[in-house]
Amino acid sequence: MHLRRTAAALLLAATAALATAPAPAAAHDRTSGPRFPTGTATAPDGRTALTDARGRHLQLRGFNLDKYAEATDADLDAIAAQGFTLIRLPISWTRLEPRRGHLDPTELHRLQRLLDRADRAGLLVLIDFHQDVYGPKFGGGSNGVPVWATRDEGLPFTPNPDDWFAGYFQPAVQTAFRHLYDDPDLRTWQADFYTRLARELRGHRSLLGYDLFNEPFGPVPGDPSDPAVLAAASAELEQGRLAGMYRRLIAAVRRADPDAWLFLEPTVLVGQGVPTALPGFTDPRPGAPRLGYAPHFYDTAVENGADWNPADGFVEQYTAAITAYPAAHRLPVLVGEWGPPNSRTPGNRQLVARQAAAMDGFAEGWTMWYWCRGTGGYCALDPAGLPAPGEEPAFGPYPVAVAGSGVRTVGTTVRWSADGTGHASELLLPPAAFPHGARVDVTPAGARVEVEQPTAGRAGTVRVRLPHARPGTPVTVTMNG
């Protein structure tokens, strides 16, 4: 079953000591191969871009892999062949550390093998510390917090097969989250796990970094069917217990890895237009911080099976809710999950297009939920492995690295202002969007343009050089099939 483990369905339901490890190898040169972001650049409007070693503005796009990490080499190769550069890889604390203090060698080898394959395919990997309804003690499959780190005080838990997310509101789950946030030994064990895993993976050329905690949740004192109670509980969590966890986990990863990017998630209420109450965070690494903001982008009614209503204001409310926080703290935005459970309905087809366009205006990258074949259930591909009906906007051309600022994409047209460095800008031509090749038009007239056409099994590339352009020169690239 292709069930999304998001917490977005919650509001509708509610309202209706370190282990010894070998010394790591020296870090790879990340400026060759995958386009690794080495820094940021903040525009006057507060939007912060990811930049590479040449100062080019980066766009990272891709897909989530299966949350039980059953991805194959063929999946990674196919994602790269379609022109994507990023995967978000859910991992399980339960599976990686089935016994306290011991990383499972088989699971660790599987993870490292996927990183190796991603490197060969030219993909970056964002490790997602995943959880659903806390962990397996409460029916969360094999992902999430291990049973040995679950304290529910013996309170009852009754799964609801018709509404799995309602489990978050049961006293046993609320209690387990409270202990995870509050108990000194559980805090230490969690931080220890993050440090040891970061030590094992640091320096890998495909490793972008870590999404520190998937869809955080916590105690809800009061009636969760009251939206005001839910909003207050979310704000209290973000300002207090969750902020404390993030500080501990940032420090835990940095004890082993000074280079990985660390992304913070708000609670899922951001999807209902509720701005996050998270505070700012400090990155203890030497040099500029490498912190980012990774909200999810889901419509509650759509998650519950409805076709999207374009008049509901969801995209506008969401955009307004998520932009202030990263602007205030100069954080690049990477949307970790988005996409409807069924893109084939009329409204949801519009939703995919609207979300893709909206993210171009506020995000430096995204990973859609998720890469699989099927006839629904969030699968981005149809049974033949082609983009599923309605998913086409996610497979369009995009600027992967631009020597300039103010980058905007509208359909198959990309615009930016040149930075005057003369570095090449690169745009990707996915074969799904251009099965018969692309015609490329570029202004200004003095641009030097190289077009590598896509093939059935490989994305094409447009390279644009402006050796004599002054800073601020408008650039327009239009790609037509």
Domains in the chain, CATH or no CATH each: 10-16+60-395 (3.20.20.80), 396-481 (2.60.40)
Q: What average pLDDT does this structure show over 345-373?
A: 97
Structure confidence at residue 9 as a pLDDT band (50, 70, 90)? very low
Structure confidence at residue 33 as a pLDDT band (50, 70, 90)? low
Q: What's residue 165's pLDDT? A: 79
Contact 200, 210 (CB under 8 A): no
Q: What's residue 348's pLDDT? A: 97
Structure confidence at residue 31 as a pLDDT band (50, 70, 90)? very low
Q: What's residue 15's pLDDT? A: 36
Q: What's residue 26's pLDDT? A: 32
pLDDT score of 23 more than 70? no
Range scoring the smallest mean pLDDT among 91-105, 157-171, 406-420, 449-463: 157-171
Q: What's residue 154's pLDDT? A: 95
Residue 132, C-beta contacts closer than 8 angstroms, at least 6 positions apart: 5, 67, 140, 141, 143, 144, 164
pLDDT score of 25 more than 60? no
Summarised one tens digit per residue, pLDDT across range 180-189 is 999 999 999 9
Range scoring the smallest mean pLDDT among 12-26, 279-293, 300-314, 364-378: 12-26
Q: What's residue 459's pLDDT? A: 96
How distant, in Å, are the alpha carbons of 77, 324, 345, 381, 452 from that of 388? 18, 33, 11, 5, 26
Summarised one tens digit per residue, pLDDT across range 239-277 is 999 999 999 999 999 999 999 999 999 998 898 889 999
pLDDT score of 65 more than 90? yes
Q: What's residue 28's pLDDT? A: 37
pLDDT score of 39 more than 90? yes
pTM, two decimal places: 0.93
Structure confidence at residue 365 as a pLDDT band (50, 70, 90)? very high
pLDDT score of 51 more than 70? yes
Q: State the Rg of the chain over Cα.
A: 22
Q: What's residue 141's pLDDT? A: 78
Q: What's residue 69's pLDDT? A: 65
What average pLDDT does the chain have?
Answer: 91
Range scoring the smallest mean pLDDT among 219-223, 251-255, 286-290, 459-463: 219-223
Structure confidence at residue 8 as a pLDDT band (50, 70, 90)? very low
pLDDT score of 218 more than 80? yes
Structure confidence at residue 161 as a pLDDT band (50, 70, 90)? confident
Structure confidence at residue 142 as a pLDDT band (50, 70, 90)? confident
